[in-house]
Chains A and B, each alone.
Chain A
Amino acid sequence: MSKIGVFICHCGENISATVDVERVAREIGGMEGVAHAIDYKYMCSDPGQTFIKEAVKKYGLDGVVVGACSPRMHEPTFRRACAEAGLNPYLCEMANLREHCSWVHEKSEETTEKAIDLVKMLVEKVKKDKPLESIKVPVTKRALVIGGGIAGIQASLDIANTGHKVILIERDPSIGGHMSQLSETFPTLDCSQCILTPRMVEVAQHPNIKLYTYAELESLEGFIGNFKARIRLKAKSVNYSTCTGCGACIQKCPVKKIPSEFNAGLGTRTAIYVPFPQAVPNKPVIDRVNCNYYKRGACKICEKTCQVGSIEWDKEDEIITEEVGAVVLATGFDVKGTDFFPEYGYGKYKDVLTGLQFERLASASGPTFGEIRRPSDGTIPKKIVFIACAGSRDPAKGIPYCSKICCMYTAKHAMLYQHKVHGGESTVFYMDIRAGGKNYEEFVRRAIEEDTVNYVRGRVARVYEKDGKLIVKGVDTLLGGQQVEIEADMVVLATAGVANCGSEQLAQKLHVSYDPYHFFAEAHPKLKPVETNTAGIFLAGACQAPKDIPETVGMASGAAVKVAALFSNDELVREPIVAVVNRLAPPLYSTCVGCFMCETACPYNAIEHEEIKGRDGSLIRTIARVNEGLCQGCGTCVAFCRSKSIDIQGYTNEQVYAEVMSLLND
């Protein structure tokens, strides 16, 4: 017969105020198999834990139930106490008498009876508990960082500087991301590229960082400490080991009218190209969709130009496999295009721009060398209108959230415009000014007070073009809804920041959860902001939600520390809450019949095929086996198995059955 110890906590008065804890201890004490039952003011305190340890030794307990707060709070505490007393920690369970009972019910007979039932339930469970051993897995001390924007750059450098190897992959031909496209940064107005480029170079030169540009993650298998990443190295068509980056091929390429991604469509580039002058690596790739040779089979001018023979026409995509112990997701964000807005012309007006396009106009490296000029006719706009919350905070457009960065960059845009166009008139239509951040509010006030930017509180109903002007139909809600009509030369929409395209597919590859807008989900909104729900995968930057540069860099460093902490261990200890397929003596071997329906049900590909072979090596049967490294313990397979051949440790069929029965049998 079992010898179970039951310990009922008063939690000060949190439990005892509505539950008659003495009666609970008394009645449970009379239960079959219960050797010892007491109540105490604070079970989690040192003396409380000592009671448990002493009882384990004194009564030779083979199971412990603590009736206290939620196991999500103190289960580790009490299990540790049991372990210290020599009892297998997994033979200790908690009945949730506080969150699920005393706090949610009034003081009454029923409340005490419910408490008794809850403890009984756990006593019945403990009777079926088996000692379990934690699972130990080795750690591969190499990190994979996905995305080479400022988040990925920062995370890579920080991890590399702790002495660990980093593999950084970037989808585009160069690292740098959105930050490299920005003109100047708020609230200091320092030049974005000036502060970013040194870091980009540092990444390229760091001995601990292996950089793959023009590369994408193909698949990720495995689990924390032991991932296997398959990476697709897209064919660059240029041999980087011989290419000197002289740029002669780019000069000669006849396909010159391709809209430049780096310039947000405002400039053009060639088919063999380096995205921007400061690119890292500063070597070209051939865009095969637009290249004459790949389209029509003739041209090859670049090959003739190249002095070192670096063009590789027949190069194919290559897939490499890297073993890593942790992954940092830093894939960034995107902004909505102007074509997203019916009321602002469906993108048909050339002088209606997104904020990102305005950045390129304002940037010294941009298509106009930093002069604000209209894309339509190259003239300098005398009147400019900025529309904040374009798409953001707009449930009807499917984006109810605030994109967070627009208030600040719109103020910056207006300020830059005023600095660059003397005598120009700028108007900002806004709903609220969200300038929470160090020196942010001061920055916005400066735009209004010193740079005379006209801030009008109201949204713009529509924009249309007439006689070369953009007619902006706005409103001033602070004047009771008075209409404001502006004949502008240029309109800049602070379009919503959205998840990067392909983020949903990437999340599915990684088994990372994501929110309804396809931003990756953090494990806890407050206490685990850089972790994901998948152990060993961390988040950095705007792939989690739109955020500005300081916040992104902070988050990236946070993720790097999490990776470094993980790498400080040689092996990881995991809870043994995993599924197990039963094994029996021959000739049965297992009750598993090998239908492998569990294989399709498993979200983690943890079900493996095990071949049972006879002495002569002939195959007797193929049955399922759970890879305990991959298994995360959801138990979906358990409920699915027809012959009950799989069970999950910690929540076995016997345990849950006993719990349910105990609640109903009285």
Chain B
Amino acid sequence: MKKLRDRVAALLDEGAVSLVIGYEEGTKRPRPLFCRNSESSGKLIFDSRCFHNLAVYVTKKELVGKERFAVTAPISTLRSILQLYVENQLSEEKLLVLTVDLNGELREFVTFEEISAYVAQFEMKRGEREQEILSKIEGMTREERWKFWMGEMSHCFKCYACRSACPLCYCTKCVVEVNRPQWINPWPSPISNMEWHVNRAMHMVGRCTACGACGDACPVGIPIDLITRKMMEDLAPEFGYIPGQPAKQGNALSSWKLDDREQFIR
């Protein structure tokens, strides 16, 4: 931890970066910290409780400005950063990535490849909560799944916290704000809520890194992160990609294989 604080302080003092996005102690759990000078670097923390996905801030131009900046990134954040690189939302000249590895060593990354190589050693697994709910859902009949999700969807009031929390929802104009035509009704109702979440899942195909930020952000506790997670688990082997470890070219939906499955096509 000390090494991290010292390095951040040094980076800011040298003027190598103008901002470091990291974590500080919050009331219940760590919260984001935006360090702009070396004094505040003393507040920096980095431990297993720091899972909040900081990648959501790196695409915010008003926040990061035009100068080079750094982010202290746990594994979930690293995965999102990789995906953002693929989607041309970040540039290697502008972003320095810091993390602390399993041995407590400070690591610094500049390039996509460096992060990619580091991330490759971490396997993505379901946690206890995900396992519990997903195995329940997997045990359901189709009708039961429909009832379950419709029940959940009736709680959604379209606050779009999920969208704000997701580092990959960086569009300047979201499809729900498109009104010619009005694809998805702006007011909350189970069907339009479902349309929104199906739409979100479809937009995440091959992109979602299963960080869980969307589910975490939901004020009414709908396990929406599991929609994208399950979708990704099911499709990744078939489409031949590893979630959270994107290839630099292409995307699961904008590419295809000659022998993609088609038994469902009559």
Interface of A toward B, CB cutoff 8 Å: 588, 591, 593-601, 622, 640, 642-645, 653-654, 657-658
CB neighbours of A593 from chain B (8 A): 89, 170-172
Q: A595-B89, A597-B251 are in contact. Are A653 and B181 (CB under 8 A)?
A: yes
State whether the Cβ of B249 lies closer than 8 Å to any Cβ in chain A: yes
Q: Which of A593, A594, A599 is the most central at the interface, judged by chain B CB atoms within 10 Å of its CB?
A: A593
Q: A622-B88, A653-B181, A658-B181 are in contact. Are A601 and B172 (CB under 8 A)?
A: no
Task: Establish whether residues A643 and B171, one from each chain, have CB atoms under 8 Å apart when the complex forms.
Answer: yes
Residues of A within 8 A of B253 (CB): 597, 601, 640
Q: Is the CB of B181 within 8 A of A654?
A: yes
Main secondary structure of the interface of B (DSSP, over half): loop
Query: Is B266 part of the contact surface with A, judged by Cβ < 8 Å?
Result: no
Determine whether the beta carbon of B172 is less than 8 Å from that of A595: no
Cα of A392 to Cα of B175 in the assembled complex, Å: 54
> Could you say which residues of chain A place their CB within 8 Å of the CB of B89?
593-595
- Contacting residues, chain A, for B175 (C-beta < 8 A): 642-644
Size class of the B contact interface (CB-based, 8 Å): 20 to 34
Residue from B173, B175, B250, B255 whose CB has the most chain A CB atoms within 10 Å: B173
Chain A residues contacting B103 (CB-CB under 8 Å) are none
Further contacts, 7 of them, CB under 8 A, given A597-B253, A657-B183: A593-B170, A595-B88, A597-B87, A601-B254, A622-B88, A644-B175, A644-B178
Least CB distance, B209 to chain A, in whole angstroms: 15
B85 to chain A, nearest CB (A): 11
* A642-B203, A653-B181 as given contacts; A596 in contact with B88, CB under 8 Å: yes
Please, how many angstroms separate the alpha-carbon atoms of A1 and B174 in the complex?
30
Do A640 and B254 touch (CB < 8 A)? yes
CB of A592 to closest CB in B, whole Å: 8
Contact for A591 among B170, B173, B183, B203, CB less than 8 A:
B173
In B181-205, which residues have CB < 8 Å from any A CB?
181, 183, 203
A594–B170 alpha-carbon span in the complex (Å): 11
Q: 1/0 per residue B75-88: CB within 8 Å of A?
A: 00000000000011
**Taking CB as reference atom, which chain B residue is nearest A637?**
B254
A-B contact pairs, 12 of them (CB 8 A): A591-B171, A593-B89, A595-B89, A597-B251, A600-B254, A600-B255, A601-B254, A601-B255, A622-B88, A640-B254, A643-B175, A658-B181
For the complex, give the distance between the alpha carbons of A189 and B249 in Å: 57
B178 to chain A, nearest CB (A): 5
B249 touches A600 (CB 8 A): yes
B257 close to chain A: CB less than 8 A: no
Counting residue pairs across A and B whose Cβ atoms lie within 8 Å, the total is 53
Q: B203: nearest residue on chain A (CB-CB)? A: A642
Contact residue among A588, A594, A598, A644 (Cβ-Cβ distance under 8 Å from B254): A598
Report the minimum CB–CB distance from B39 to chain A (whole Å): 31
Q: Most A CB atoms within 10 A — which of B87, B178, B254?
A: B254
Contacts of A591 in B (CB 8 A): 171-173
A643 to B251, CA, bound (A): 16
Is the CB–CB distance between A600 and B171 below 8 Å? no
* Nearest Cβ on chain B to A130's Cβ, whole angstroms: 12
CB distance from A161 to the nearest CB of B (A): 42
Question: What is the minimal beta-carbon distance from A247 to any residue of chain B, in angstroms?
Answer: 48
The CB with the most chain A CB atoms within 10 A, among B174, B181, B253, is that of B181
B87 near A595 (CB under 8 angstroms)?
yes
Contact of B171 among A599, A642, A653 (CB under 8 A): A642
Q: How far is the CA of A245 from the CA of B89 in the complex (A)?
A: 60
Q: In chain B, residues 213-255, which have Cβ atoms closer than 8 Å to a Cβ of chain A?
A: 249-251, 253-255
A662 smallest CB distance to B (angstroms)? 12
Closest A residue by C-beta to B180:
A654
Nearest CB on B from A645, distance (A): 8
Using Cβ atoms and an 8 Å threshold, which residues of chain A touch B251?
A: 597, 600
Bound: A600/B206 CA distance, A: 14
B254 touches A643 (CB 8 A): no
Please give me the 8 A-B residue pairs with the lowest Cβ-Cβ distance, nearest first: A657-B181, A601-B254, A591-B173, A595-B87, A600-B254, A643-B171, A600-B250, A642-B203
Among A596, A601, A643, the residue within 8 A (CB) of B87 is: A596
